[in-house]
Structures are given as C-alpha cells and as structure tokens.
A and B are shown apart, each in its own frame.
Chain A
Amino acid sequence: MARDRTPADLVGADPGPPFEITFDGRPVTALPGQSVAAALWGAGILAWRTTRNGGRPRGAFCGIGQCYDCLATVNGEPNRRACLVPARPGDAITTQEGHGHAGLAV
C-alpha cells in the first residue's frame, strides 16, 4: 500500500484555506473545522498540559470529551477541552501547568 498516504488523501479532503494558531508562541498550521487538539496532533504535538502533582506531560487521550486530559489554556482561558474546542485563526494555545481555577463541581 502507498506509504505516504495521509488521512486527507483517504477521504479526498479539499480543506478551506489553512490558518495559523500558536502553541507556546510557536506557529502551528490548522485547517478549518479542526479542533485545537487535532491541529496540535497535525503538527506532531502530543502534550500541552502538565499534571498538578508530578508535573507530567499530558495531551488528548479519549478524543471524545470524556477524560479531560487534553485541558489547555486557550487565549488565556484555562481548562478548555482541546479535543472539543474548534481552532480559530490567531488562537494562542499555551501549556496548562497544573490547576486552572474553574471551580467546577464534579
């Protein structure tokens, strides 16, 4: 089978114009319709959060909004689920270190 096949080839994707977001200040190219997590995966970035106690890196795990491992700081707002939040031109994604302070009841 073709080695260099991509997901976009598989579905014959002809996306709208790509746009730029940043991850910890670095430019990352996103496609319209991608979540923040998908845009980061697309750039080979798998971790954008560190845990509260161990400071260990984490990123998307369940991919469907259930695990909350993918929490990121989006435009200064912490605790956004990157697998659900759509990427928008100019978004500044920053690594979320430990806690956000959303005060949620779980």
Chain B
Amino acid sequence: MPGSPSEPYEARERCEACEPYEACEPYEGSQQHVASAPSEPYDLAVIGAGPAGLAGAVTARTLGLSVALLDAAPRTGGQYFRHPAPGLGAARPQALHHDWAEFTALRRRFEESEAAHLAHHHVWTVTRQDDDGTWTVHALTGPDAASGTPARVRARAVLLATGAYERQLPFPGWTLPGVVGAGGAQAMLKAGLVLPGRRIVVAGSGPLLLAVASSLAAAGARVPAVVEASGYLGYARSPRALATSPHKLLEAAVHGSALLRHRTPLRTRSAVTEVHGTDRVEAVTVSRLDRAWRPVPGTGRRIACDALAVGHGLVPQIELATGLGCATRHTPDGTHALALDALQETSVPGLWAAGETGGTGGWQLARTEGELAAIAVAARLRGLPALTRSRRARDLARRRDRMRAFADAMAAAHAPGPGWTSWLPDDTEVCRCEEVTAGGIREAAGELGARDARTVKLLTRAGMGWCQGRMCGAAVACLAASGTAQGTVPPSAERRPLAVPVPLGTLATGPEEPGTT
C-alpha cells in the first residue's frame, strides 16, 4: 500500500515535496499526499531521479524555474546510485559506489533547491494540451503502482530522464530461479543488501559486468568467472575516444584490479550456453564463441555455481517519448535511443531528454546532459537564448560530445554478434511472460512470414505479457529479422502504448480526465 506511517522517510519525502507548491491532495482514505492536480503548471516536469534527472532539476531551479521531479522509486539516485533504505542503517554506502560523495553533493543541492520530489510516481503516459501546449504527466502512485491511484502533474516543459533497462539474450535454462539480471543482482545488492547465491557466475556483455562482479565479490560472493561475449580489443579501434575519457579507463582499471584481488578469471569471447538444475541453478556451461558470437562446438566447460547474473548491455527506456512520436537513432550496439539536438531537445518541441534515454553512457554523461538540458529549457521558457551560448553551456556540450563518442565506441565493441541465435534451441523460452519458445517465434518468422517484432507478437503472443516485451524484445526482433537482409540486427524501435501497465479503470477515464480523488 502506498507508504504507511511505519515508513516515515517516504511520507516525509512526499509532503515536503508538495508543500511549496500547495499542489497537495490527500489520497482517498489515507494520510498520504500527492501532487495530483496543481492549478498552476510547473515550469518543468522531470521524469526520472537518476543523475540526469537530478542534475536537470537542480539546474532548472538555479535558473529560477519551478520544478517537479517524478520517479517510480522511493529515493533519488536512479540505477547507479541506488542505495539501501534508511532502515538498513548502512554506515558506508560508498562501499558500493565509486562516486558516492559526488552523488550526496548532488542530492543535497536537490534537497536545498525546493524542487518538488514526487517519489513513488510511476509515469505511464505524457500528453499535450492542444490549446496552450502544456504537458500533462500521468502517473500511478505507490511502491508498485498496484493500487492504481492516479496523479497528474502539469508542466510547460518536460525532461525525460528515465534511464535504461537491461538487454537480455535468452539461452537454455535462463528462466530457472537463480538466473538474474546482472544489473538486477547489482540493484538488489545495493538496495536490499542481499545476494542471489554464494557462488555467482557473471555473464553477458558490456562494461557493467565488471562493475557487478566486483560488487558481488566485495559483498562476499564467490565469482568463479566473468564471461564476456566480446573481447576488449574492440576498444582499441577507437583510440581517440578512449584517450579523451581518462575517467572511464581509471574506472575499468579499478574494476580489473578488484577482480584480480578476488581471483576472478575473466573469460572473453565466451558465453553461458546452458544452465543446469531442475528447480534452481546448479551449474552453467560456458562455451567459446567465434567472432560472430557462434558457440564453437566442443568447447563447453561446466562451472558449478548457485546463481548466474547475466545481461547484454542496456536498452534506453524511451516509450514515453516514442508514444509522442519522438524520432529515434540506431545505437552502435543495436538498440534505439532518442535522437536529440545539440541542446538535448527531442524532435518534439518542448520535450527534452538526458542520460541513458539518449544512449548508454554512464552516470557522468547523464549528469552533464541533465544540466545542459535544463539550461536549454530555461533559455526557452524565459526567453533568454543567450543562456545556451554561455561558457558553462559550451563547456557542458563539449564534455557531452566527448563522453558520447566514448560511449558509442564502447557500445560498438559490445554489440551482439549475429551468430548468438545459434546457441538458442527451439525449445528454449524466449518470452518469459507468455512462455513462448524460440521454435514458436522461428515458425512465425519462417513459415508465417513475420519480419518484425510486432507481427511476431500478434502471431505468437511473444512480447504481449506484463513486461511488454522488455525482456524478450531484443531476441524476438533478432529472430524475426534473421531471414532478412538486415540479418539479426533488431529492425525497429519498440513502441509500447504505455510505459507501465495501467488498470483498465484508469484507462477508461482517459488521460484527459484522470479519476483523481
């Protein structure tokens, strides 16, 4: 249920948030307050309280704008700076984050800024009023939005900072309990101080794996192997981008040395091609991959473990924007990110984006973009275009370009090879929600001629379940495209109608007249 008095920090966050704007209305039948229908729109609604959203909110307040920051989570920080609830009494949260001091400084500035923090607000759609162009952000409130209590926030501009989620490429046994997302294991550790097992193999692709392996090991897990499908040699193909981002290299070196200290072997050009166990993980088979990510026959080696943390990079979370028709760009690792102009604005005027919504790139890039976007918003709303030509803005844009170039080089180095589908037998489930197998999808793509994820979905129900294709989308798109000229490159940006599942009752009232209490 939405925060009860036994969780004072949540209630405090919410009410402090609403107070300065008198936008508070009590939930029906509870003491809680949410901003449901402010009579005056905010200047800026920021969606997502990670580094991008926080930096955006703080900067916008500094420039005199009124700001509401909405996030589904109870606390600010987003994915990277996810941290334990106060009840867990962590004296050294910095042990799980390299840059904790920078986060607490940002958080302090946010708290002092008097921006409204609307925690536990799950945004499901954003609409625009035709007459005056004001945006309305529609959310469901509560820890998991199950009660479906709606809230709406009006604003003159919107900054989308919803981050990313993990990309998954299925393999036999990936639905067994004990197989968890790599970022998911990290998130559960950072927020709840728990591990999925004692002997955890970390596998997939991308730099996040190293971070996850070092945290799990530092928290007491044995990590018998980190299994990376690419090599790191790919980085060397973009020496310029690498040379200009020393911080990244430093970070990689820190993770590398942490792994050495925990004696964790790193196997590159390899993948987990099978998980063993009946009701939970007992072991995995790791196979060598060729350059196209096809497993090399006869190279499988069994590693005993009780959990597997797996992920293949990140997918920008952009459905709120694509729902409004925002243009996207193809990223070097085969996902879709928002196409943004030099000042972080999407192709839909009045809607800005920052952080991973524009492509994976780490928290410093997210923070830089959030600040730049807020300057652009203030310049527009206050009619001060000179703000965007200020030294600060130019400096931010330069840093953004440098970090984006690095991120794109790294993404290219970890792009899934087209051969990965050959480790996927027909009886492996691809869609976890609807239990649709690879065979079912191949049949739809082959005999029935489906060429894209949407057609496969209509034919097989893959991607039609609760998660709306977030977990299977990349795989379904690859399988559907495997007979086409594009090979196994995911062909089109996902267009989910809603960013979070919404009770039918809420939909029935329509976004224009939410059934606010």
A residues with a Cβ closer than 8 A to B are 1-16, 31-35, 37-39, 41-42, 46-47, 51-54, 56-69, 71, 77, 79-81, 83-86, 88-89, 102-106
Is A47 in contact with B279, judged by CB distance below 8 angstroms? yes
Number of A-B contacts (CB under 8 A): 204
Interchain CB contact under 8 A, A80 and B144: yes
Q: Which of B90, B181, B184 contacts A11 (CB 8 A)?
A: B90
- A77 CB to closest chain B CB (Å) equals 7
The answer to whether A61 and B471 touch across the interface, beta carbons within 8 angstroms, is yes
- When the two chains form their complex, are residues B504 and A67 in contact, meaning their CB atoms are under 8 A apart? no
Contact assessment for B220 and A38 in the assembled complex, using a CB-CB cutoff below 8 Å: no
Q: Among the listed B181, B192, B196, which residue makes an inter-chain contact with A35, where contact means beta carbons less than 8 Å apart? A: B192
Q: Using Cβ atoms and an 8 Å threshold, which residues of chain A touch B279? A: 47, 57
Chain B residues close to A by CB (< 8 Å): 4, 6-7, 72, 74, 79, 84-93, 95-96, 143-144, 146, 165-166, 175, 177-181, 183-189, 191-196, 217-220, 261-262, 279-280, 432-433, 435, 464-468, 470-471, 497-498, 501-504, 507
The residue in chain A whose Cβ has the minimal distance to the Cβ of B166 is A62
Please measure, in the bound complex, the distance between the C-alpha atom of A59 and the C-alpha atom of B196, giving whole angstroms.
10
Residue contact B177 to A79, C-beta cutoff 8 Å: no
CB distance from B434 to the nearest CB of A (A): 8
CA distance A85 to B192 in the complex (A): 12
A interface, over-half SS: loop
Name the contact of B468 in the complex, choosing from A59, A64, A89, A106 (C-beta under 8 A). Answer: A106
Smallest beta-carbon distance A60→chain B, Å: 6
Q: Is the CB of B181 within 8 A of A84?
A: no
For residue B141, give the distance in angstroms from its CB to the closest CB of chain A: 12
Contacts of A35 in B (CB 8 A): 191-192
When distances are taken between beta carbons in the complex, the residues of chain A under 8 Å from B177 are 46-47, 57-59
**A10: contacting residue among B7, B144, B146, B220, CB under 8 A:** B220
A6 to B467, CA, bound (A): 32
User: Which B residues are CB-close (under 8 A) to A42?
Assistant: 192, 194
Question: 9 more A-B contacts (CB under 8 A) besides A56-B175, A63-B183?
Answer: A5-B218, A5-B219, A14-B91, A34-B85, A58-B432, A63-B185, A63-B188, A81-B144, A104-B502
Contact A12 B87 (CB under 8 A): no
Given contacts A38-B191, A61-B181, whether A13 and B467 have CB atoms under 8 Å apart is: no
